[in-house]
Amino acid sequence: MEQAVVAAVKGIVGAEHVLEKYEDRYCYTYDASAVTAGKEGMPALVVYPGSAAEVSALLKLANEHRFPVIPRGAGSNVSGGSIPCAGALVMVLTRLNKIVAIDRKNMVAEVEAGVITADFQTEVEKLGLFYPPDPASKAFSTMGGNVAECAGGPRGAKYGVTRDYVLGLEVVLPTGEIIKTGARTMKCVAGYDLTRLMTGSEGTLGVVTKAIVKLLPLPEAKKTMLAIFDDVEKAAETVAQVFMAGVIPTTLELLDNIYIRNIEAAVNIGLPVEAEAVLLIEVDGDAAVLDKQVGIIARICREQGATEVKVAKDAKEADELWVARRSAFAAVSRVRPTIIGEDCTVPRDKIPEMVRTIRAIADKYNIIIAVLGHAGDGNLHATILTDERDKEEMARVEKAAEEIFAATLAVDGTLTGEHGIGLVKKKYLPLELGEGGMLAMRAIKKALDPNNILNPELV
Amino acid sequence: MQWSELEKEVIRCIKCGACQSVCPVFRELKAESTVARGKINLIRAVIRGDVDAAGAGFEERMSWCLMCKACQESCPSGVKLDQLMLAARRKLAEDKGLPLLKRLIFRLGLKNRRLFDLGMSMGSVFQGLVLRPAPGGKGMLPRLPMGLDMRRLVSPVDARPFRSRVPAVVAVDNPRKTVAFFTGCMINYVYPQIGEAVVEVLKRNGVAVVIPADQHCCGTPVYVNGDVPTAVELARATVDTLADLEVDAVITACGSCGAALRKEYAALLADEPGYAAKVAALAAKTKDFAEFLAEVGLTAEMRGLAATATYHDSCHLARSQGVRRQPRQLIAGVPGLTFKELKAPARCCGAAGSFSLAHYDLSRSINDHKVDDIAASGADTVVTGCPMCMMHIRDGMNQRGVAGEVLHTAELLARAYKDEK
Ligand SMILES: Cc1cc2nc3c(=O)[nH]c(=O)nc-3n(C[C@H](O)[C@H](O)[C@H](O)COP(=O)(O)OP(=O)(O)OC[C@H]3O[C@@H](n4cnc5c(N)ncnc54)[C@H](O)[C@@H]3O)c2cc1C
Ligand code: SF4
Ligand code: SF4
């Protein structure tokens, strides 16, 4: 980047909000995915803008001088969405960290993009309100990043994903215009639904600087239970049955034996290490009806062949189960150091078939694939446990992943339920969208970002 | 040791970013290169050949770590950041010839007026850590434990270190237990009153105390700055002095000394023939003051104290040694005292030993959050189990004009026994 441009950037955000040192820039060549840009993809600058106006000025400068801009929150995405290309400007939005308003009467809140999701939830809950989207990364990921990835989480089975809560946005378009989409109202059909277009756009169509989100009343109580199975397919089969019985659990997580054993080794709370699978189930809502719901779910689990159903006695036991669930990743990194978490999502009733397919693929390529799923919403994280230093095995991993994608699409599933396409799955996207779909998306990108400034490598 | 040998640990970082929510350094500096994930990936970059380990930029980033282990505690893959950081610093010391801290001070410190002033004011503290010949006539310390000669900057410290004030054996009638007391440098040279309080409280509770005269520095200050050979020598000396004593326990009253004796020596002395068993025996015997007392129980009656106290968890006491409950239990048991928790009691105070010398401004801003929490707690007495934390918190409260006393757990208890009011 020319010195004059660097000076202009500093003029916009202030020199103290610009990182120029090689080592500092290097640390923005990766995110939480397995890909990294390395030395070849070094960003020219890393900047921390302090307002939408600064974001706008930076984007205008980028159009003038044609350098790429990569928006970034906490860099916790697992799809390679915030990986820069050589000469890019990485725009970190964490300085925009104010909760602008929590409007109790209308049950909406307005937050800046850099607010950490869990911090926002804590504030909201203090007022007896509830912001349900809860990616497992919520303690560090940002609201802007959540919107850009349309993040989901364990509560998705009942409450949906980020998209279902975003009412409106403040977005800086790639060309620098600051626009507002949606409204503070529950209903809004004025014009195209740009809010939805931006939500899940992975930082390619605009930089989100603010979000207006919908809130719910905080559920009065919750109950957590663990159903134990000696056969992973029986567990998978149970998932659809629970919903068919008319109960909508908040969470319905499936963990296979590899996960169970390693989690138990890590946290030691007495999980059934012999079990082939467990379902971790939570219901929430009116305290008076919870027992009834738990009863129905327990009955269905037993009918489907659960060897045991345990209901957490108190908050402490429930907490233990959740700590166990959250340490899942941790735990399996004991098996092999490199973890690749695939994110295929299928219709709920196809889960048993998909689990079977994943197991067959693991056998075929002789690699370890553990299965953990937000099964309640059909989202299966086929977790490939490998070692990035073993090139030969990595080649088999690549083939296995390809087969998993193909199988997912074959049962009307999608390549990603919550992690996004990013660099990681870019080449597979046409498989799902077809040529027409790709054309439509490219036309939108071209219209909004004629000079291909924002996250250019992603599209 | 090759950089590539670090790879096995480095690749366990799955780059999730979870450490961002806990790292005190990242909280201040905000740049990805300052959080555990960034530091680990810079080491990865050195292995890959993308980053030059000889460059000042890399070394400086390796120095931006408090070794507070907050990242380790929350890391889903259990990456041992401290081991990586130590290995990197050791490698830097080997490749570049001088311990990290010394280079930092030369490069930054001597050009920087504020740090120079600090050197003057803290000099008496560090001089004590640095210069003492080993008592008991067993020769000089192998080298200056800080790896840094500050004689030029400072006037001599208190001429009467703790160990010259107390007898080698403090006997009691019908002792319930007999313990050895490892004083460490800070207590011996800077805060002898903590040592006196430890002995006083133990004595009152029927515990006889042996204070071996020829103790050394535990080695932590040099170890964390990459000077491993000196650390090994100090560790061996400590083990030789303490391992074979016929006592029920070896007591430490400094979080870092305790962590060294109990946890770090095993790795540090792994290659020293004949030391494994002795190190294990010492580790098993070593107990923090508060932990030991809570275990044997207080028998002597207290007069009590009218105070509102809060407690700061020293990283090396809480995270390394797992001692959290016991000091609180002891403090809350003081008659007349009200106990108030801090908002984030286990957040690092920013002292981190020599870190606060090399990065004074940064360590102050980290400390500001601690001082804010203390002010918000309404406590008039801050209790902690580590002399280094005490010094740093006291300095912070002073500079920010927050009133209140900072005491070691032992000092608080000793007062509760003594006060006539
Ligand atoms: C341990 C772990 C657990 C996870 N669990 C879940 C989970 O349960 N559910 C889930 O959905 N995801 C999960 N993720 C993935 C990740 O946390 C989410 O995708 C999250 O939304 C990313 O937020 P971020 O702030 O880190 O964004 P980043 O990773 O920094 O960015 C993500 C993408 O959004 C773009 N972007 C960032 N901020 C903005 C903005 N303000 N405007 C426009 N574009 C922007 C970037 O260019 C990039 O393409 C997990 C990740 C980890 C490491
Ligand atoms: S929490 Fe652990 S695995 Fe995650 S980025 Fe930090 S060091 Fe790496
Ligand atoms: S040890 Fe503490 S200061 Fe060092 S990287 Fe980890 S959290 Fe940050």
Q: Which of A218, A225, A203, A283 is nearest to A249 (CA)?
A: A283
In this complex, the residue of A94, A266, A329 whose CB is nearest that of residue B30 is: A94
- Distance from C-alpha of A209 to C-alpha of A144, rounded to nearest angstrom: 7
pLDDT, residue B128, reads: 44
The atom number, within ligand 3, closest to the CA of B72 reads: 6
Average pLDDT score over chain B: 84
CB contact under 8 A, B42 and A27: yes
Say if CB A235 and CB A279 are below 8 A apart: yes
Q: Which of A39-53, A132-146, B100-114 has the lowest mean pLDDT?
A: B100-114
Strand partners of residue A108 = A103, A214
pLDDT, residue B102, reads: 67
A-B C-beta contacts closer than 8 Å: 91
CA of A43 from ligand 2 middle (Å) equals 22
Kindly state if the Cβ of B414 falls inside 6 Å of ligand 3.
no
In this complex, the residue of B12, B20, B33 whose CB is nearest that of residue A337 is: B12
Higher-pLDDT residue of A454 and B87 is A454
With 80 as the cut, is the pLDDT of residue B137 above it? no
- Distance from C-alpha of A82 to C-alpha of A240, rounded to nearest angstrom: 35
Q: Which of B22, B26, B73, B79 to mutate to test the pocket of ligand 2 (most atoms within 8 A of CB)?
A: B79
Q: Which helix (H) or strand (E) holds B418?
A: helix B409-418
State the sign of the Cα–Cα–Cα–Cα dihedral A133, A136, A142, A147: negative
Number of H helices, E strands in chain B: 23, 9
With 60 as the cut, is the pLDDT of residue A11 above it? yes
| SS3 label, residue B15 | coil
Q: Which of B258, B286, B211 is nearest to B389 (CA)?
A: B258
Kindly state if the Cβ of B65 falls inside 6 Å of ligand 3.
yes
CB contact under 8 A, B32 and A32: no
Mean pLDDT, rounded, for B188-212: 91
Chain A residues within 8 A of B51 when measuring between CB atoms: 22-23, 26
Q: State how beta strands B207-210 and B308-312 pair.
A: unpaired
Chain A residue with CA closest to B19: the answer is A140
With 90 as the cut, is the pLDDT of residue B366 above it? yes
- Distance from C-alpha of A208 to C-alpha of B15, rounded to nearest angstrom: 24
In this complex, the residue of A27, A74, A118 whose CB is nearest that of residue B33 is: A27
CB contact under 8 A, B18 and A139: yes
The atom number, within ligand 2, closest to the CA of B15 reads: 5
Per-position DSSP letters for B85-133, written without gaps between them:
HHHHHHHHHHHHSS-HHHHHHHHTGGG-HHHHHHHHHHHHHHHHHHHPB
pLDDT, residue B106, reads: 56
A305 vs A228, A235, A302, B146, B404, CA distance in Å? 9, 8, 5, 65, 63
Chain A residues within 8 A of B75 when measuring between CB atoms: 330
CA of B23 from ligand 3 middle (Å) equals 5
With 60 as the cut, is the pLDDT of residue B132 above it? no
A193-197, A260-264, B238-242, B272-276 — most confident range: A193-197
Strand partners of residue A285 = A221
| SS3 label, residue B157 | coil
Q: Which of A104, A77, A107 is nearest to A200 (CA)?
A: A77
pLDDT of A164-185, one tens digit each?
999 999 999 999 999 999 999 9
- Distance from C-alpha of A295 to C-alpha of A298, rounded to nearest angstrom: 5
Q: Which of A12-21, A253-262, A327-336 has the lowest mean pLDDT?
A: A327-336
- Distance from C-alpha of B383 to C-alpha of B380, rounded to nearest angstrom: 10
Q: What are A124's two structure tokens?
A: 């909201």
CA of B282 from ligand 2 middle (Å) equals 32
Q: Which of A211, A204, A203 is nearest to A164 (CA)?
A: A211
Q: Which residue is listed with tokens 């001692």?
A: B323
Q: Which of B209, B128, B207, B224 is nearest to B167 (CA)?
A: B209
Side by side, the strands of the sheet bearing A251-256 are A308-311, A221-229, A277-285, A251-256, A368-374, A379-386, A338-341
Q: Which band of pLDDT confidence, cut at 50, 70 and 90, is reported for residue B107? A: low
CB contact under 8 A, A76 and B50: no
Q: Which of B19, B23, B41, B365 to mutate to test the pocket of ligand 3 (most atoms within 8 A of CB)?
A: B23
pLDDT of A300-353, one tens digit each?
999 999 999 999 999 889 988 888 887 787 788 878 888 888 899 999 999 999
**How many Å lie between the alpha carbon of A273 and the closest alpha carbon of chain B?**
20
Say if CB A113 and CB A208 are below 8 A apart: yes
With 80 as the cut, is the pLDDT of residue B239 above it? yes
A88 vs A13, A82, A215, A341, B214, CA distance in Å? 16, 11, 37, 27, 60
CB contact under 8 A, A24 and B31: yes
**How many Å lie between the alpha carbon of A31 and the closest alpha carbon of chain B?**
7
Kindly state if the Cβ of B224 falls inside 6 Å of ligand 3.
no
What are phi and psi for residue B254, nearest 5 degrees? -135, 125
Kindly state if the Cβ of B39 falls inside 6 Å of ligand 2.
no
Strand partners of residue A310 = A226
CA of A133 from ligand 2 middle (Å) equals 23
CA of A153 from ligand 2 middle (Å) equals 20
**How many Å lie between the alpha carbon of A137 and the closest alpha carbon of chain B?**
7
Chain B residue with CA closest to A94: the answer is B30
Chain B residues within 8 A of A334 when measuring between CB atoms: 78
Chain B residues within 8 A of A13 when measuring between CB atoms: none
A150 vs A119, A203, B407, CA distance in Å? 18, 11, 50
Its pTM stands at 0.90
The atom number, within ligand 2, closest to the CA of B20 reads: 6
- Distance from C-alpha of B310 to C-alpha of B89, rounded to nearest angstrom: 35
Per-position DSSP letters for B208-222, written without gaps between them:
EEE--TT----SHHH
With 60 as the cut, is the pLDDT of residue B110 above it? no
Q: Which band of pLDDT confidence, cut at 50, 70 and 90, is reported for residue B76? A: confident
With 80 as the cut, is the pLDDT of residue B371 above it? yes
Packed helices B409-418 and B325-332: angle between N→C axes, nearest 10 degrees: 20
| SS3 label, residue B22 | coil
Selected residue of A16, A22, A27 to mutate for chain B interface (largest B Cβ count, 10 A): A27
Say if CB A282 and CB A223 are below 8 A apart: yes
Chain centroid to Cα B75, Å, comes to 22
Q: What are A231's two structure tokens?
A: 């056969």
Chain A residue with CA closest to B31: the answer is A24
> What residues of chain A have any CB closer than 8 angstroms to a CB in chain B?
19, 21-24, 26-28, 30-33, 38-39, 46, 48, 74-76, 94, 116, 118, 137, 139-141, 266, 326-327, 329-330, 333-334, 337-339, 387-389
Q: Which of A112, A130, A113 is nearest to A121 (CA)?
A: A130
pLDDT, residue B148, reads: 41
CB contact under 8 A, A27 and B78: no
Average pLDDT score over chain A: 94
